[in-house]
Amino acid sequence: MTDSHSEKHQPPHLDDFLCFALYKAHHAMNRFYKPLLGELGLTYPQYLVLVALWEQDDQSVGQLGELLHLESNTLTPLLKRLEGAGLVRRRRAANDERQVQVSLMPEGRELKQKSWDVAACLFETIGMSREDIGTLVEDLNGVTGAVVAGRGR
């Protein structure tokens, strides 16, 4: 790490922190989604897992983890709950018994339609143009990429 910070040692203001802005925005998103997803019987991470499966069915726990940046210690119980709710099926892969393949059950596939309303509701509430949202998403992904890449140092 360089010393680019050592010139300016004034105590940081909470609202200036990028990390805090992210923290708040993430929480706001969570609180927004919770009641809407609650009607579907889903939590927010469960919803993300389903979005990933709607896009590409029959993924292994590891594949889902890579997509969502989660590990098996988080995914396993979450997936068991989705399985318990009858939304997905967990089966060990035939060719490699170490892997567990997660695939959609009919009931899980049906939620796809209903969830559109949730995403649309958020889009409306934010009131940003698709372009601005796209730009913001790119900026965020840039930060995410830089932070993830910088972790190993």
Partner DNA sequence: TGCGATTAAATCGTGTGCGATTAAATTTCT
Partner DNA sequence: AGAAATTTAATCGCACACGATTTAATCGCA
Strand order in the sheet with 88-92: 59-60, 100-104, 88-92
CA distance 44 to 29: 9
- The interface with a copy of itself within residues 24-83 (CB under 8 A) comprises 24-29, 31-33, 36, 44, 48, 51-52, 54-55, 67-69
Q: Whole-number minimum distance, CB 151 to DNA, in Å?
A: 9
In terms of residues, how long is the chain? 153
Question: Does 115 help bind DNA (rule: CB under 7 A)?
Answer: no
Q: Whole-number minimum distance, CB 39 to a copy of itself, in Å?
A: 11
CA distance 103 to 50: 10
Question: Does 45 help bind DNA (rule: CB under 7 A)?
Answer: yes
* Residues paired with 92 in a beta bridge: 100
Question: Does 58 help bind DNA (rule: CB under 7 A)?
Answer: no
- The interface with a copy of itself within residues 86-125 (CB under 8 A) comprises 112, 116-117, 119-125
Residue in the structure block whose two tokens are 């069915």: 57
Q: Whole-number minimum distance, CB 14 to a copy of itself, in Å?
A: 5
Question: Does 34 help bind DNA (rule: CB under 7 A)?
Answer: yes
CA distance 52 to 12: 38
Question: Does 150 help bind a copy of itself (rule: CB under 8 A)?
Answer: yes
Closest CA to 79 of 55, 105, 40, 56: 105
Q: Which of 51, 52, 70, 105 binds DNA (CB under 7 A)?
A: 70
